[in-house]
Structure 1
């Protein structure tokens, strides 16, 4: 059973796949060739599910950081007799056209160890376990490294030092002295490569330098934000880039599966997919972080993946695979014990089957942000967006599962109605570009019906707030977005009262915000949500309470780990990060709240 803290990990990415490396140099999560591929190393979820460690063979003091303006990880180990530096990266290059990042070799893991003073005995242990630990591959030493074969994957490990093999584990011990370097590289494929990349430490060093140049080149082109917390915003922009699947432009919600919302509980979901729900806030964040190419690519992905006939028997799907796949059927992996015994471990996500009315508003708002001033839309995108507007107009009165994807009965969620209002509001603005000017009258009439229903059925005079459901009494942090999407003016007394009610009733002693306290069809409690806390900071800025907004923002941002990564949630009892990691929406919330606070200066 894995017990290591989630915040102990740092992210590596080649904008196709991702790895997580612990503070002590253990690579405990790696999915190749895509974010949603079966893991080759999954010790994150079970001690027996594969790892690759490099560390001193003696006690050491550890510090780490990302190399400036990159996601190449530099971990420094200081021992009694010397100091070594471990640099980890997934290989990247730079495409000359478009100045975008590109994988220089598909799924190439680079690990470079350098002794910078004295001498350090170095240990390495390599135990790949493809398919989430099901496969214990056969290993065969070859000149310049090691081949591991089993299941659908052949792994080529390049090493200038001879490796010892025992069963399905390889290891080495070597003493490095000041100035000496050891470079290793791992690549996955369908067959053994007789001429693998990076046979020598020198070649590994060259590829590491190329990766650093690639990230820095990208960062220079995306360094236009001038507001408060600039370093945090720029770093969060890099994290979003790292979570982008370059071939399609999709952005995953997180790079992991089944890291729990409740330790030891069953709220364990696979987040390695793209949610339409996140679209409009993602595009705002990409705009703030000066990621114009990524903005266009992400909306293009959404437009392609969402293309379908929307009628009375078909709803817009809420999420897709990174290649645009629709069937994300969920299954359990019973051989994995889960992080800190949090089972079941799941791959796939059955939320793809849910009806969620908010997605129409998020998709149309994303289109409005991206193309309102430019246009035109191609015929397929135009037809899809008109269909989304018609679906919002037709379905807004129906109950649904809501943006939080409750697994209990469908309800009349206020946020879902709100986003249907947003969808029609944006469709009206886009109507000329959509060649749908003839629909403006009907869309306007239904938009006003939705508005009237929300104001009359979601407002609870006794509580002094808009509530989670029509006629309900429970609060929901999702309603902090009311002023963010323009439904009511920030100075409307009902907005201010709702913001204050959520701040009072859903905020824990740490100053972090819960999504809600109402029953949701699942047992157990969950932690506070960092996205919701950043939403509170954003809303407080909009209603003119800037000092409070800054305090809430800085409280949420303080829960980033030592390399600036944010989880989904924070455990209210311990303050420990929990949930899938890193969480795109947490970084999106940070970027958007920082901009909103900056705009009030």
Structure 2
């Protein structure tokens, strides 16, 4: 992944940009070969077979790919440019939306090829291409794309190609800028100083890493990389963090569990803030919470539900539609944009929002009057609705049920509201919140525990296991060494875990066709819960089992295919990296 903290690109190991959305994470893709062979790409690689290795330049998300050919070695450096002199907390705030590519022959002689095939709007547009001084302009739809290139490009239709031979010490610099097709200013027609902008982008990322990544403990490198990934998935102008950079990468090859994850979920909030506290700093925490508080603010006393997810600009209508012209990743259709889960009722979100507020403001405060009023409304709504069914954490698209996790997070809402009462100016409500908290506790202990299953289960009255029950000790409902918690952890480890040691979120029918892989987040949850139970060795093993499925540059997908071990699902997945950070910290604190 490349990121300018506003948008993202994905680059394959053979130097092809197969995914690029500009100017926002949720913009229509300019390159989408990830989802269809004909939906656009931009390759830069040697014309001959090569041995390939990749890495991020230290402390950055600037990608370096090394191609070792028989006649020489080519190094390709790729970056989404940060704005000039962006450093520290301003990282990504003024990014211009430019993809930079620099190919350097460091040894011998290498002939490279570049093929540039932009297809805006997920492949719907085949733009008209016009050679100009210093490059190429492509027009069509809502975009003008300006490619800066110091070599002639052969244009055929909506595809441009070039072949260049470089000798040791020579480099080829390319840049792509997207702008509105209706902007009053003409597109740039002269090359960028690509080498200088890459150096400045490297400096920007390193300044952020130096100022933010202070974690010391086991798996420092993995925690540091995960912190950078969370920053890379942040839409800097608002502080929103997207769940992933992609849409419609399936949970099983050929299946229909293909969702758009380029949005922000409230359910991720409290765990995200914990991860940011460990791997970043309070500025990112405050910005993320401030975004969610503004985006979700509504008159809850008027009977409204708290919406569960938002666009990166705070948008609420995320209506879902299919793109039938795309075949999907390995034929996994439909390809979807938007996500109709925004319409669902999920009563867990009240707890996640109040837990986040508690992490930030219990000991600091003060809160402005509107935020205090809103958070009191969140607590009152949780108290009023905790007995209602909902769609649950996993967004099951079917009838509502009484999910254990949803009740647990309503307990969290009451518990954190009590703790926040002095900051909220709500002392008169504490007795009622405490009473409701105890009622929820009793319901979970009596109806959430299933004697036949020997564990806390997915829903009241159900025998089905769910990895979400691992959160009972993680939110402080019960201690990690409580016998029922240990029994639940043992049951998940025995009955939801595959031969690789990875955890399924559940095995119950959920109304959707096809299977799904194991969830890396749930495996990190297992490691976290084991650490809280005092099982240091098993916790470390579960952590290693999950972390070993990062790719060659340390990025984690959502899931792993149980039959092949291949990463699947949207990529890279923020929740997987959040789970890694929090599990590493839990193991460190436990001394495991």
Q: Please tell me the TM-score bracket, short chain as reference.
A: over 0.9
Pair 1:453-2:435 in alignment: no
**Structure 2 residue runs without a partner (length 5+):** none
2: CA distance between counterparts of 1:138 and 1:148? Answer: 5
Alignment of 1:496-575 (within 5 A): 496-575=486-565
Alpha-carbon distance in 1 for matches of 2:502, 2:212: 30
Give the direction of change, closer, same or farther, for the CA distance of 1:548–1:214 in structure 2 (3 Å limit): same
Q: Distance in 2 between matches of 1:130 and 1:282?
A: 32
Alignment of 1:124-163 (within 5 A): 124-163=114-153
Asked if residue 34 in structure 1 is aligned to residue 33 in structure 2, the reply is no
Q: Which residue matches 2:191?
A: 199
Does structure 1 conserve the Cα–Cα contact (< 8 Å) formed by 2:149 and 2:174? yes
Rounded to whole Å, the distance in 2 between the matches of 1:197 and 1:357 is 53
Say which of 318, 342, 354 aligns to 1:352. 342
How far did 1:30 drift? 0.3
Quick check: 1:444 aligned with 2:460?
no
Report the counterpart of residue 8 of structure 1 in structure 2. Answer: none
Question: CA shift at 1:195, angstroms?
Answer: 6.4
C-alpha displacement of 1:290 = 2.9
Cα distance change, pair 566–144 in 1 and its aligned pair in 2 (3 A): same
Question: In the alignment, does 2:92 pair up with 1:102?
Answer: yes
TM-aligned CA distance change 1:62 to 1:240, over 3 Å: same
Is the 8 Å Cα contact of residues 91 and 103 (structure 1) preserved in structure 2?
no
Name the CA distance, whole Å, in 2 between partners of 1:463 and 1:305. Answer: 40
Structure 1: 5+ residue stretches without partners: 1-10
- CA, structure 1 residues 98+233, in 2 after alignment: closer, same or farther (shift >3 Å)? closer
Residue equivalent to 1:233: 223
For residue 105 of structure 1, report the CA deviation from its aligned partner. Answer: 4.2
Q: What is the aligned partner in structure 2 of residue 5 from structure 1?
A: none
Q: In 2, Cα distance between the equivalents of 1:419 and 1:533?
A: 20
In structure 2, distance between residues paired with 1:319 and 1:395? 19
- SS, match of residue 483 in structure 1: helix
| Displacement of 1:107 | 0.9
CA distance in 2, matches of 1:290, 1:265: 36
Aligned equivalent of 1:121: 111
Bigger mean CA deviation after superposition, 22-31 or 98-107: 98-107
For 1:197 and 1:16, the matched residues in 2 are separated by 24
The Cα of 1:313 is off from its aligned counterpart by 2.6
2:585 matched residue in structure 1: 595
Instruction: Report the CA distance between 1:432 and its aligned residue.
Output: 1.1
Q: 1:223, CA displacement in angstroms? A: 2.5
Q: TM-score scaled by structure 1?
A: 0.97
- The aligned residue for residue 69 of structure 1 is 59
> Partner residue of 1:283?
273
Asked if residue 264 in structure 1 is aligned to residue 270 in structure 2, the reply is no
Tell me the alpha carbon deviations over residues 146-167 of structure 1, each in whole angstroms, 9 at most, x when there is no partner. 0000000000000111111100
**Residue 95 and residue 297 in structure 1: after superposition, are their counterparts in 2 closer, same or farther (change >3 A)?**
farther
Change (3 A) 1:95 1:179: closer
How far the C-alpha of 1:211 sits from its partner, in A, is 0.3
* Alpha carbons of structure 1 residues 357 and 197: separation in structure 2 relative to 1, 3 Å: farther
Counterpart position of 1:6: none
SS at match of 2:271: helix
SS in 2 for 1:482: helix
Correspondences of 1:364-379 after superposition (within 5 Å): 364-379=354-369
- Match for residue 383 of structure 1? 373
Q: CA–CA distance in 2 between the matches of 1:384 and 1:23?
A: 47
CA–CA distance in structure 2, aligned partners of residues 343 and 69 of structure 1 = 37
Q: Establish whether residue 314 from structure 1 lines up as the match of residue 309 from structure 2.
A: no
Task: Tell me the matched-pair count.
Answer: 589
TM-score norm. by structure 2 comes to 0.98
Q: Alpha carbons of 1:391 and 1:99: their partners in 2 closer, same or farther (altered >3 Å)?
A: closer
- Larger mean CA deviation between 241-250 and 223-232 belongs to 223-232
| 1:56 and 2:46 matched | yes
Alignment partner, residue 393 of structure 1: 383
Counterpart-to-counterpart distance in 2, 1:91 and 1:18: 11
Q: Is contact 1:567-1:577 (8 Å) kept?
A: yes
Cα distance in 2 for partners of 1:504, 1:477 equals 12
2:213 alignment partner in structure 1: 223
Pick which of 93-102 and 159-168 moved more. 93-102
Distance 1:493 1:95, change over 3 A: farther
1:377-431 C-alpha deviation (Å, 9 max, x unpaired): 1122111111110010000000000010001111000110000000010001001
Alignment map for 1:396-475 (pairs within 5 Å): 396-475=386-465
Relative to structure 1, is the Cα distance of residues 65 and 451 closer, same or farther in structure 2, using a 3 angstrom cutoff?
same
2-structure distance, mates of 1:285, 1:198: 43
The whole-number CA distance in structure 2 between the counterparts of 1:102 and 1:60 is: 34
- Alpha-carbon distance in 1 for matches of 2:168, 2:186: 32
The 3 A distance-change label for structure 1 pair 27 and 428 is same
1:446 Cα deviation (Å)?
0.5
Moved more, 115-124 or 454-463: 454-463
Instruction: Give the C-alpha shift of residue 291 in structure 1.
Output: 2.4
Q: Is residue 177 of structure 1 aligned with residue 147 of structure 2?
A: no
Q: Note the aligned Cα RMSD (angstroms).
A: 1.2
Note if contact 1:393-1:446 (Cα within 8 Å) is conserved in structure 2.
yes
Q: Aligned partners of 2:189, 2:232: CA distance in 1, in Å?
A: 23
**Alpha-carbon distance between aligned partners in 1 of 2:189 and 2:359, rounded to the nearest angstrom:** 42
Cα pair 1:357 1:402 within 8 Å, conserved: yes
Q: What SS does the aligned partner of 1:188 have?
A: strand
